[in-house]
Every structure is written in C-alpha cells, then in structure tokens.
Structure 1
C-alpha cells in the first residue's frame, strides 16, 4: 500500500506544481493597471479640477445650435404624442370601467380603446429612444465629464421620460383592470 502511494505521488502532485509554474509566470507581468490617481480624480474639495493644474479637464463647448434645434423638435414630437394620449385617456377610462365580462362587447370595446391609447404615445416612445441614443453617444464621446451637450440631452430626455412614465402607469392600471 505504501509503495503504491509513493508511485502515485508524482502523478498527483504534477497538476499542483504545473499550476504554480503557470501562476508564477503571471506574476512577472507588469501589464496591470496603475493605482495612481487618474486625471479625472484630481479634484479639490469642490469637485472642480485643481486650479492651474496641467491635468485639469478641458472645458467643453456648449451644445450646438443644431443639437438644440433637434432636441426641441424631439420634445415637441413627444409633447404632441402626450397631448393625443391625454385627449384619449378619458375615453379609455370610461371603456375600461364599463368593460363587463371578458370577451363581451364592452370588454372588446375597452381593449380597442386601450390599444388606441397605447398607439397614441408611439411618437413619445420614438422620441425617447432617439434621446437615449443621443445621450449614450455624447457620454461615450466625453466619459470624463458631463458635457453641456449631454446635459441638454439629459434635460430633454428627463422631460420626455416623465411623460412616458406617466403614460405607462395609466396603461398598466387600465390593463390590470381588464385582466
């Protein structure tokens, strides 16, 4: 029994030593990231870059006139869609309140009114998706700070998202009443 264990010891220990050799090779690498303070982390107490620092984050230009016009157009599209939504909301509320049993005429009318309500907000959803894309692109272009363009896009996005969130809550509530 002892002789069998002695013969198996080299076989059993080979993976352990092989792994140690491989890991030892990794330790010799110096390609790991530095733990030094990065440029974006060099700030004073106010959160601004250190005054007179060569590492100060450059000031980005304000949002362009083209971007401002585009944002206003997207917000306007969403505003119009939200107006259509609110103008159809009361009819959908009444239809759902009088729906009756599932698959009855009243229930079918309520389903149609709810579908019409959902369709009326498509412009707002499309505008929100475009604003999301613009925001992601702008933040990717300037990851070290929120640029004036990103701030403008974010403000427009927040406004449209508020309308879409309110619409989603209404649709969810009405849909739950039909189920």
Structure 2
C-alpha cells in the first residue's frame, strides 16, 4: 500500500511540475503577435515602359558563309536521296520471298540503308543549324537567316521521312 501511495505522489508531482513549466513567465519568450515590420504597407507603382526596345545584336561575321555551307550540305544529301529513290523502289518491288537472307530482300535492305544514310547527312546539317539557332538565342543575336535555313532543311527532311515511311511500308520491313 505504501508503494502504491508513493507511485501516486510521484505521478502527481511529475504532472504538476510539467504543467508549471508550461505556465512560466512570458517575459522569457518573444510574442508571436505581428510586429510593425511584418505589416504590409506602402504602394508599388508600375513602371512605365521606356521608349527604347531591345534589338538583337548583329549576326557574327562568317555566319552567312556557314549557313550557306550547311544548306548546301543538306541540299546535296537531299539530291542524292532523291536520285536513289527510284532504285530503292525497284529493289523493294523486286523482293521475292520476304525472308531475311534472300538476295532480293538483302538488296532492298541495302537500298533503304543508303537512303537512311543520305537522310542522316541532311539531319546532321539540321543539327548544326539548330545549334547555331540556340547559340544566337542565348547571345540575343539575329536569328532570321538561321531560321530560314532551318526551315529549308526541315522541309527536305520531312519529304525524305515521308518517302522512307512509304518505302518501308511497301517492303513490309
């Protein structure tokens, strides 16, 4: 019984001490009320835009020659691609047994690979043009000439992709 009384007194004392710790003086802790510094005050007026507009810098020297070279590379690849299309169509039309290892099937595969190779050369030129465009954007330089060259190369690649899809569909490869 004494032991039970001791436990009871111990629990009550512990609870009272814990409660009294919570009720300590508020002088030791800062107030959580909003301070004057935290209050919203003042008025922000929008700034009127100035008459000046930003203009991109001029294209770097030699960029026109670089663009011409890349477009010429893509055009050369496109010309070679278009010249190889009839032979590829003939190879696909000549497929006998559509079995890997058959001579006609292998010839069609090689012809399609040659077309893919020519398309890849044009795609490399497009990648270089994309890089020039990105650099001009970052440098805030003129991009119109690059954009025109890109559009020209993109239109060739789109045509090549359409032809390749059609030929693969015919070959059922």
Q: TM-score range by the shorter chain?
A: 0.5 to 0.7
Q: Determine the C-alpha separation between the residues in 2 that align with 1:114 and 1:60.
A: 44
CA displacement at 1:87 relative to structure 2? 0.9
Partner of 1:150: 143
- Say if 1:93 and 1:174, in contact at 8 Å, map to a contact too: yes
Q: Does 1:124 align with 2:122?
A: yes
Partner of 1:107: 105
CA displacement at 1:58 relative to structure 2? 2.3
Q: Determine the C-alpha separation between the residues in 2 that align with 1:61 and 1:140.
A: 11
CA displacement at 1:69 relative to structure 2? 0.8
Q: Does 1:85 align with 2:81?
A: yes
Structure 1: tracts of 5 or more residues without a match: 1-27, 43-52
Q: Which runs of 4+ in 1 moved over 3 A?
A: none
CA displacement at 1:63 relative to structure 2? 2.6
Q: Determine the C-alpha separation between the residues in 2 that align with 1:158 and 1:176.
A: 27
Partner of 1:16: none
TM-score of the aligned structures, taking structure 2 as reference length: 0.65
Pairwise mapping of residues 131-170 of structure 1 onto structure 2 (< 5 A)?
Answer: 131-142=129-140, 147=141, 149-170=142-163
Which one of 63, 66, 72 corresponds to residue 70 of structure 1?
A: 66
CA displacement at 1:57 relative to structure 2? 2.2
CA displacement at 1:65 relative to structure 2? 3.8
Structure 2: tracts of 5 or more residues without a match: 1-37
- Say if 1:84 and 1:121, in contact at 8 Å, map to a contact too: no
Highest RCO, 1 vs 2 (Cα 8 Å, sep ≥ 6): 2
Tell me how large the CA RMSD over aligned residues is: 2.4
TM-score of the aligned structures, taking structure 1 as reference length: 0.63
Residues 18-37 of structure 1 deviation map (CA, whole Å, 9 limit, x = unaligned): xxxxxxxxxx7x9xxx9x68
